[in-house]
Structure 1
Amino acid sequence: MAHAVIGIEEAQARIFALKEPVESEMVTLAEAVGRWSAQDVVALRTQPARNLSAMDGYAVRFADGAGPWTVIGESAAGRRFAGTVGAGEAVRIFTGAVVPDGADTVIIQENVSRDEDRVTLSDDAPKLAGHNVRSAGGDFREGTVVVPKGAELHARHIALAAMAGHGALLVRRRLRVALVSTGDELVAPGQPCADDQIPSSNGVMLAAMLRGLPVELTEFPAVADDLDVLTAQFHALADHDIIVTTGGASVGDHDLIVPALQSAGGVIDFWKIAMRPGKPVIAGTIGGAVVLGLPGNPVSAFVTALLFLKPLIAHLGGASDPLPGRLTARLGSDLPANGARTDHLRASVDKGIITPVGTNDSAMLASLSISNALIIRNINATPISKGAEISYYALT
């Protein structure tokens, strides 16, 4: 069956079109970490709710003059002074405490001298009104959007949501993802390996890449190149959100992902992408699952997972921007012209300089392991000289 070779951007768009984001659920703040917000998070309160002191010191009406002042009370965090500060009066105040009505300034304790209830401004102290007061609503106000829909929720967002009055957030549910490595030559990591076998690295690699993402991962031992076995596997996994296979995605006699998926009743959307490494990528569906057939060569599997699998998870999880971000750096060496596929060169970036490293053979993991970036070379790109700016993906 013939399938046209398509570009990376088209492939990403077509993968996203295969399935809508999954259903939402309300979860606690702790459970929301790493998910994507399913709606705008709107502040239920104003922060600070009142003017607060930013320092330990004395709250005064500086507009009436630079003292001296008579101390009439104390305001601490959670125990505010209930009265009003008048002319010539001061309230001893501590960081985070409500600034009393009538006061407009907090003078830090280092800038005054105190004799019993009398406070005097030091001669060398700055005479500035309004200092050391955190204004009500200075962080956010009730009704404002503090976290937008589609934002990935990190610790900083969780803290903000809590401060905004929320104890739970609406997020997309966790995705059910199945990882299936295929190939007669594969043996489990750490097991004896004959000369015509290789350790199965793709499964553990992809599992490591997805760790921390909101997925429920099902991993399987390597599956033999057997049409009936693979067909049965697709049948069994059709209730997942994503089925990821590695190996068997090309056109050889032992590449059985396409015929197995079709035999199981699945549908192929596209088969080949104009990229290197990773041309033989299969995308399709079976039941409610999106099927991503990634290449068997480990570097190809890594790069295609970065560009298609992780973005698909983000898309289904409700991300507003599911694609990996591009960065720029200055080239540390010249690069020749590129051919008819978008190339991704293993590279090291340091202090704004990016340099290709090692070999770019799609089966060679050593050069990938010492890389922290992938240089992006567009289709038919012209030669580029050392020092020029170029785009790259950061590797984590």
Structure 2
Amino acid sequence: MATVKIILRKNYQKKDKSFPIVLRLTKNRKSKFLFTGEYILEKDWDETKGLARKCHPNSARLNNMLLKKLTEAHDIALEIESSQNKQSVSTIAKKILNEDDYDFFKSSEIFLANILRRKKFDQHYNQEKRLNIFEAFLGRKQLSFVDLDVKLLKRFEAYLLYERKVAPRTAINYLMLIRTVYNLARKEYHVDDRNYPFGKGKIQIKFPESEKFGLNTEEIKLLETESDLTVAQNNAVNTWLASFYFAGIRVGDILKLKCSDFKDDRLYYRMGKNKKIVSLAVPEKAKKLLHQYTSVQQHNNDLVFPYLKGTNLNDDKQVTIRVKTITRNLNRRLKIVAEKLGIEKKLTMHIARHSFGNIAGDKIPIQMLQKLYRHSSITTTVNYQSNFMHKETDDALEKVINF
């Protein structure tokens, strides 16, 4: 016999610390959780009764709604159990669910809560922003999965490409996010697969080849020798050069470097992206540049670059927000410097990594580049470096046409 109970799903939590109220359907020791669309703080929830406490401002109305859903679920489960055909817990769940109660944005809240629970603050920031843009495109924060079809997704893709002017790869990232949320709803809430808009003959996720480019040696020399810069512009250039000198350290890691990370002419730091420990020799150029900053610091725990000064480095969320703001400011100053020096390529902090790859080209064995880039897989290095390795193809082209 299937049983239905109202509970809090405590492994999901929103930013306001509330938990989703769900119906737990159990049969043969297998359970499914049916999302009600309601959230509540733990202090306002009576675990024994499975209802909101009287201290909740809308307890009467909320409890009436929950009891109604519980009764409806019991009735449907009993009706199915009374039939001749044996039904699994998943089948019963699908019968109980009403598509109107389980829309895309309710599922996206659970998706975002999962990211926060894993403390992936940078990912949460980006995905929440994309979902807000999708909501603004629709003009509402309700979207049933029945209405989330191929036609709507193609309209949204066109909106991204031709009105918001995003890159094709960025548009794919939006579609991937929507697919991820949809897949969560399929798994957790048993949304009907018949309306699924992704796959063969529908919306297919195909990543366009991304064009990576970097500065060449002459352009980097301009950055190294230019003196007619403001203090803010000079600091931005030095931050970029420090990243380049250490094989393209990501901006978040550069900003968190401390004087104590440098020992015996080596840099030791933990990568923010995959938590790997990295050790690199400090090149002579980097020594001269860093001396401008480390010589004025008072303690080993002082940051090399002062941008994150005053930020609680143990608060990952706060650091993530600050790094994004700082990066925007650095990129804005680098753009001004590029215009001043006549560098036509887009100059951003991330381009430091591409510039190292561009100059490395075919000169360094791929296994060594894997170590310098801190890639877990050599395949990643091969795919990344293929953007900058042109010698063999250039020589081949020359041999054919030079007659």
The answer to whether the superposition gives a TM-score over 0.5 is no
- How would you bin the TM-score normalised by the shorter chain? under 0.3
TM-score (norm 2): 0.23
More helix by share: 2
Which structure: greater strand fraction?
1
Q: Mark the structure with the bigger radius of gyration.
A: 1
What TM-score, normalized by structure 1, do the two folds share? 0.23
